[in-house]
Structure 1
Amino acid sequence: MSIIYSFEALNFNGICKTIAISLCPLIGQADGIEPVCYSRNVELSGNIIFQPSTLIIDVVAIIMTMIMIYHIRSKYTAVGRQEIVMFFYLYMLSTLLDMLLVTAIIPTSSTVYPWFAAIHIGLICATYWCLLLNGFVGFQFAEDGTPLSLWSIRVSSFVWFLIAGFLAIGTFKGVAGLSYNNQAGLWIFYIVLNYFMFFVYVVSQIILVVNTLDDRWPLGDILFAAGFFTIGQVLMYVFSVFICDSTKHYVDGLFFGAICNLLTVMMVYKYWDSITKEDLEFSVGSKQNVWEVKELLGDDEISQNYTTYQQPTTPQHYQPYEQHPF
């Protein structure tokens, strides 16, 4: 069995022969394209569950994303808190739909399957778009947390979701000059633009760390994220058949791709957490920068503290403490 299948530009035929992503049952031909080798199915309560190992990883990913969202929302003073949490919400929703589609909880024969698949593709593309915009929050083109910053990300992500979703359903249903044989527009959005946006995000964060931060440790987090992402895509689209054959159909590239995607998102969270300051009100025992403390003090308090520190303490100026009756 060949390890690498031929890569076909501007269509998903080669990809779908390698791995069973959610759009494969709807393109290439009337009844879709089936991969050469895929993970074996299991029967649960009379229902056939496809990709059971991937189902477990998707459940773990949803739980981990909820934990990350909780920690992000608890950092009340962190820069870009409200912007980055949108990315994690989108990732969680796309993972939930991925779990429902690739495991056939929503059957491919169902009339609603193409619509859910289109929504899934739209959410994936919107997730990449939201991550790209979060990459520019640290450059302060618009002050984080303001309506301009928040609504520009929300509205543009929703518009990107609609465009990608329309391309998907048009490809599935054969409308607007699209068809399951004419996949160029969807392929560009799903493959080219998504990869390009992730690449721009990584590069922008490297520039941000090098130019604005003294600490270089966050570079490791963002490089690990890029590494996990690259490994996951290679395992899915290149070595899936080899993995499937080697493991006797127990797992395939989709399983390892889901793991690597989760690790990528976790490293994005770790990177964001490492470049944002701690909450002064809720953190205990953490080192705070002098300028961060001064931001919370009024001018009168700073002046009073400065005057107190400047008072001489030599013995000749010492005055005994005078007791005053109530």
Structure 2
Amino acid sequence: MGGLTFRFQAFKFDGICQTVALTLCPLIGKYDGIEPLCYSRNVECAGMLIFQPSTFMIDLIAICMAGVMIYHVKTKYTAVGRKEITMFFQLYLANMLLEMLLVTSIIPTASILYPFFTSAHLGLGSATLWCLLLNGFVGFQFAEDGTPISLWSIRISTFIVFFAVMFVGMATFNNLAPFNYTTPIGLWIIYFIFNGAVFLIYVLSQILLVVYTLDDRWPLGDIFFGALFFLTGQVVMFVFSLPLCEQMKHYLDGIFFGTVFNLLGVMMVYKYWDSITKEDLEFSIDSKYQDWQALLLHEEEE
């Protein structure tokens, strides 16, 4: 239990980075960063050393799945919040692409570009969750979905979150006062408190949406499993990464399992969105069908 307490010291990434190889770990704590005590094996491919090869494959799968979900969302022309939810999946896709480049060391930690891309990755992570939260409010119809005010309010506020987090990251990695890479309090607050609060508010708001505005209760299952997958991924990464890595003989670690569970969580977001918009689609298709029937009967009568 003492080890777990050490790994989760408030406002410090030291113990966390010794547990799991987050993309920011090589840039904080001390001049040469913090290394995990156990991490996935590296492999050489075409003369290039690839770190986290298993996570690299999952990231590729996640990128492909995000593309598939974006395609299916775009084909649902009459669905509520179609354009808004597309932004979330696009941000997730960009986040996975950047994570793949950083985690696998395609962009080496020694590169002068690594802090910039890591800051962008942190910004994308928070922006993706923020976009998901605002998508959750679309169902309450504060603004009509698909309208400029709905779309641009999400775009502008999401960009502000992305830029703010990216700025904190760059300032921290470059010791720009009052930020410091030895005590990255700002990044810790963003990573755990801000992101955690956004996730919690989204889940609670969607439970309220289903309970008070929908007749069907099945979407609650999608919310439950989506939240369960996401939380399981976080627990596996931050608590069980070391024992898993040792048991798997360094072939897999917490990053791999965290990425898998996060992907499952995102897929449940799609399933949830599809389940609460499906009736609108069926009604739209059915009404068109009835219109065609009425037109054909009218022509026959003439």
Shorter chain as denominator, the TM-score bin is: over 0.9
Distance (Å, rounded) in 2 between the aligned partners of 1:159 and 1:276: 29
- Matched residue, 1:137: 138
Distance (Å, rounded) in 1 between the aligned partners of 2:38 and 2:284: 56
- Matched residue, 2:150: 149
- Matched residue, 1:45: 46
Question: Which digits, 9 at most, give the CA deviation of each residue in 1:50-81, with x for residues without a partner?
Answer: 10000000000000000000000010110000
- Matched residue, 1:194: 195
Distance (Å, rounded) in 1 between the aligned partners of 2:55 and 2:15: 21
- Matched residue, 1:239: 240
How much has 1:151 moved relative to structure 2? Answer: 0.1
Question: Which digits, 9 at most, give the CA deviation of each residue in 1:8-31, with x for residues without a partner?
Answer: 111211110100010000000000
Distance (Å, rounded) in 1 between the aligned partners of 2:159 and 2:141: 22
Distance (Å, rounded) in 1 between the aligned partners of 2:113 and 2:140: 42
Distance (Å, rounded) in 1 between the aligned partners of 2:191 and 2:3: 23
Question: Which digits, 9 at most, give the CA deviation of each residue in 1:253-272, with x for residues without a partner?
Answer: 10000000000000000000
Distance (Å, rounded) in 2 between the aligned partners of 1:153 and 1:180: 31
- Matched residue, 2:227: 226
Aligned-partner residue type, residue 22 of structure 1 = T
- Matched residue, 2:61: 60
TM-score by length of 1: 0.86
Distance (Å, rounded) in 2 between the aligned partners of 1:289 and 1:29: 59
TM-score by length of 2: 0.93
- Matched residue, 1:74: 75
- Matched residue, 2:16: 15
Distance (Å, rounded) in 2 between the aligned partners of 1:3 and 1:60: 34
- Matched residue, 1:36: 37
1:293 and 2:287 are equivalent in the alignment: yes
**Whose helix proportion is higher, 1 or 2?**
2
Question: Which digits, 9 at most, give the CA deviation of each residue in 1:118-155, with x for residues without a partner?
Answer: 01111101001101111100000111000000000000
Determine if contact 1:239/1:253 at 8 Å carries over to the other structure. yes
Distance (Å, rounded) in 2 between the aligned partners of 1:176 and 1:159: 21
Q: How does 1:157-196 map to 2 (within 5 A)?
A: 157-196=158-197
How much has 1:186 moved relative to structure 2? Answer: 1.1
Aligned length: 297
Look up the SS of the partner of 1:8 in the other structure: coil
* Higher deviation after alignment, 197-206 or 263-272: 197-206
1:104 and 2:105 are equivalent in the alignment: yes
Which structure 2 segments of 5+ residues have no match?
A: none
Percent of aligned positions with the same letter in both sequences?
Answer: 60
Q: CA RMSD in A?
A: 2.5
How much has 1:212 moved relative to structure 2? Answer: 1.0
How much has 1:278 moved relative to structure 2? Answer: 5.8
- Matched residue, 2:264: 263
How much has 1:293 moved relative to structure 2? Answer: 2.8
How much has 1:230 moved relative to structure 2? Answer: 0.7
How much has 1:46 moved relative to structure 2? Answer: 1.4
Question: Which digits, 9 at most, give the CA deviation of each residue in 1:160-189, with x for residues without a partner?
Answer: 000000000101011132111131111111
Distance (Å, rounded) in 2 between the aligned partners of 1:98 and 1:18: 18
Aligned-partner residue type, residue 193 of structure 1 = F
- Matched residue, 1:204: 205
Look up the SS of the partner of 1:288 in the other structure: helix
Which structure 1 segments of 5+ residues have no match?
A: 281-286, 309-321
Distance (Å, rounded) in 2 between the aligned partners of 1:149 and 1:45: 47
Distance (Å, rounded) in 2 between the aligned partners of 1:144 and 1:110: 43
Distance (Å, rounded) in 1 between the aligned partners of 2:74 and 2:179: 42
Larger Rg: 1
How much has 1:6 moved relative to structure 2? Answer: 2.6
Determine if contact 1:225/1:265 at 8 Å carries over to the other structure. yes
